[in-house]
Structure 1
Amino acid sequence: MFSSKKRLDRAYKEAKIVEFDNNSKIILFSDCHRGDNSFADDFANNRNIYFHALKHYFAEGFNYCEIGDGDELWENLSFESILNAHKNIYMLMKLFHKDNRLHMIWGNHDMVYRNPEYVKKHLSTYFDAKTGEDVELFKDIKYHEGIVLKHCKTDQEVFLTHGHQADWWNYTFWKWSRFMVRLLWKPLNVMGVADPTSPAKNYKELIKVERRTKKWITENNNLITIVGHTHRPRFPEPGDIPFFNDGSCVHPRSITGIEIENGEISLIKWQISTSDDGALKIVRVLLEGPIALENYRAD
C-alpha cells in the first residue's frame, strides 16, 4: 500500500492545475485504447460513437480531458499506425488542442508519453502522404500524470489521474506487461482470450485497485478523485468516499464518460439507439447525476 500511496501522492503533488468555475464545461473520457483498426483494436467498434460525441462536445465549448490509455501503445509499436487508422479522430482532437481545450494524462498503456522528448518526436507533426511533407499535429502538447481541476472561486479541487498508480504490476512492470501483450495476449485477444493481468478483465485485481485508491482518498481529506484504468464506471453519492471512475470507450456498443458543467458532475453514456422507423442514431444517456460538486466537500 505504501508504494501506491507514494505514487498517488506524487501524481497529486506534481499535477497540472486547471482552473474552472460554474461556467466551465469539461468532458472526461479515458481508456479509449485507440489501435490500428486490426481485429485486436477494441476501439474500432466504438469509433463512430466516440467521434460523434467528441464533435458534440467541441461544438458546445467543452474542454476535453483524456485521463489515460488514450492510445494503445502496448499492442501497437508506433503511434503512426494508430493515427492512420483513426485520422478523423486526431484531426478533431487537434481542434481542441489549438483552442487550448485539450488536457492529456498518460496511463499504463501509453506510459511512453511521460517522456516529453518522445511526445515531441511522435506527436508534434505527422507525415502527410498527399503533400509529402510533415504537417503540424499536437504542437507543444504536454502529457501529465495528474491534473487538478481547481474551482477559481471556492478553491474546491478535483483530482484526475489514470489510476494505475494503485496497480503495482501495471505501473512498476509496465514494460514487461507491454512485452507480454505484444507477444502473447494480442494474438490471443483476437481469439477472445482476455489478459488476466488487466484489472478490467480480472475482477479480484479490480477490487484491490479500487480499495487502495479509496484508502488514499480518505487519507487526503476525501479529495474528489476521478480515475479510469479498471473500465468500471463509479459514481458515489454525496457522503460516500468521492471515488469516481469514468469507465471506458471500449464497452460493447457504448462509451462512458464524466461531464462537469454548471458546477455539477454527471456520469453519461453514448450509444447507438434504434428509432421507431428502424433508423440508427447515436444518443447521449444520463446514467447518474447531475450532482453539485459542492455536495462532495469534505468540510
Structure 2
Amino acid sequence: MSSQTRLTRAYKQALKIPFDHNSKIVLFSDCHRGDNSFADDFANNRNIYFHALKQYYKEGFTYCELGDGDELWENSNFESIFAAHKNVYMIMKAFHEDNRLHLIWGNHDMVYRKEKYVQKHLSTYFDPKTGTEKPLFTDLKYHEGIVLKHAETAQELFLTHGHQADWWNYIFWKWSRFMVRALWKPLQVLGIADPTSPAKNYKSLIKVERRIKKWIIANDNLITVVGHTHRPRFPNPDEISFFNDGSCVHPRSITGIEIENNAISLIKWYTATTDDGILKIEREVLEGPRDLSEYQKGSFRSDKL
C-alpha cells in the first residue's frame, strides 16, 4: 500500500466534526509525553503545555491532538507516563468530559488504534490515596484522521499525524519501537539522538513532506494539517495547503495551530522573563491569522511546488 493510498484511507475513514465561524479549536501534536526520566523530551516543556491547555480550556476551545501525544516507544505502558504528568491528564480529562477532546494516533502511540487497548489502559487510573480505580477517559476513541467541515461553507480541513507518508514509521513501526527501546533511549540519555526520526533527519523530513504535498495536490489542494516531522509549516494562500503544527518538544517552547473566527494561525507558547527577573509563560502568533476562505480548493501556483 502506497503513502497516497494510506492518506486517502485515513481521509475517507476520518471522524467528521462540524465547525463554524464561532468555533475555537487548537491543534497540538508530538507531545511525546514520557515518564519524566532523562529521556523524556516533554518534561522540559510540561509547564508551558499545561498552562496553555488551561487557558484554552477556560476560553472554550476544542482540543485536537494530532498524534504522538504519549511516548509509547520509549515507555512500555501508559501508567508510568500518567504518574509523571497527572496534572496534564486531568486538564485533558476536563476537555473530554465537555466533549471538547479529539485524539489522533501517530506512530509513537499507534497501539491506540485498538479500541480494546484504549479502554483497558486509559478508561481509569489508580488513586493511591483512596486505593480505588477512578474514571479517566471514559469511552474515549482515537482516530487516524479528523475532518473539520464548516457547517455553512462546507470547507474541509483534514487532520492526521502524517506518518502515512513515512513507510518505515507506519509499516515497520514495531521494529522502530524495538530499536528505540533497546538502543536509542539509552543513547538519548547520553545526548545522542535517533537518526531514523524525520524530526532529526532532514532528508527524511523532506521526503515525507513531498509525499503529503503530492496527496494534497491530487485532492484538489485540500487543507491538510499534520505533525510527525516537528517542523512548523504555514503556507500562503497561493501555495499548497500543507500545514504542520510543529511539536511540543521544541527547545523551551511549544507550537500549535489555532482556528478562531474562521481564521487560522500558527502560534508559539514559551517561557520569558520580565525586567525584574520574573519567569512567565507567553503566547506569540508566528503566522496569521488568515481567513480560511483565502484557501480555495485547486488554487495554488505551480512554482510553489
Q: Which residue of structure 1 lines up, in the alignment, with residue 12 of structure 2?
A: 13
Distance in 1 between the 2:278 and 2:35 partners?
29
Distance in 1 between the 2:244 and 2:251 partners?
17
Q: Which residue of structure 2 lines up, in the alignment, with residue 280 of structure 1?
A: 279
Distance in 1 between the 2:190 and 2:249 partners?
17
Distance in 2 between the 1:161 and 1:297 partners?
20
Q: Which residue of structure 2 lines up, in the alignment, with residue 228 of structure 1?
A: 227
Distance in 1 between the 2:296 and 2:25 partners?
19
Q: Which residue of structure 2 lines up, in the alignment, with residue 217 of structure 1?
A: 216
Superposition pairs for residues 51-66 of structure 1, below 5 Å?
A: 51-66=50-65
Distance in 2 between the 1:45 and 1:196 partners?
21
Superposition pairs for residues 68-83 of structure 1, below 5 Å?
A: 68-83=67-82
Distance in 1 between the 2:258 and 2:14 partners?
20
With structure 2 as the length reference, what TM-score do the two structures score? Answer: 0.97
Q: Which amino acid aligns with 2:99?
A: N
Q: Which amino acid aligns with 1:179?
A: F
Q: Which residue of structure 1 lines up, in the alignment, with residue 136 of structure 2?
A: 137
Instruction: Give per-residue Cα distances to partners, 1:49-86, cap 9 Å, x unaligned.
Output: 00000000000000000000000000001000000000
Q: Shift in Å at residue 222 of structure 1?
A: 0.2
Distance in 1 between the 2:129 and 2:6 partners?
44
Superposition pairs for residues 174-189 of structure 1, below 5 Å?
A: 174-189=173-188
Q: Which residue of structure 2 lines up, in the alignment, with residue 246 of structure 1?
A: 245
Distance in 2 between the 1:248 and 1:236 partners?
17
Runs of 4+ in 1 over 3 A off after TM superposition: none
Percent of pairs with identical residues: 76
Q: Which residue of structure 1 lines up, in the alignment, with residue 206 of structure 2?
A: 207
Distance in 1 between the 2:42 and 2:207 partners?
26
Distance in 1 between the 2:296 and 2:58 partners?
31
Q: Which amino acid aligns with 1:57?
A: Y
Instruction: Give per-residue Cα distances to partners, 1:96-128, cap 9 Å, x unaligned.
Output: 000000000000000000000000000000111
Q: Shift in Å at residue 239 of structure 1?
A: 1.1
SS class of match (1:208): helix
Q: Shift in Å at residue 180 of structure 1?
A: 0.2
Distance in 2 between the 1:238 and 1:264 partners?
12
With structure 1 as the length reference, what TM-score do the two structures score? Answer: 0.99
Q: Which residue of structure 1 lines up, in the alignment, with residue 40 of structure 2?
A: 41
Q: Which residue of structure 2 lines up, in the alignment, with residue 237 of structure 1?
A: 236
Distance in 1 between the 2:125 and 2:50 partners?
20
What residue ranges of structure 1 are gaps of 5+ in the alignment? none
Distance in 1 between the 2:215 and 2:5 partners?
10
Q: Shift in Å at residue 196 of structure 1?
A: 1.2
* CA RMSD of superposed structures (Å): 0.6
Q: Which amino acid aligns with 1:204?
A: K
Distance in 2 between the 1:123 and 1:40 partners?
23
SS class of match (2:4): helix
Report how many residues are paired.
298
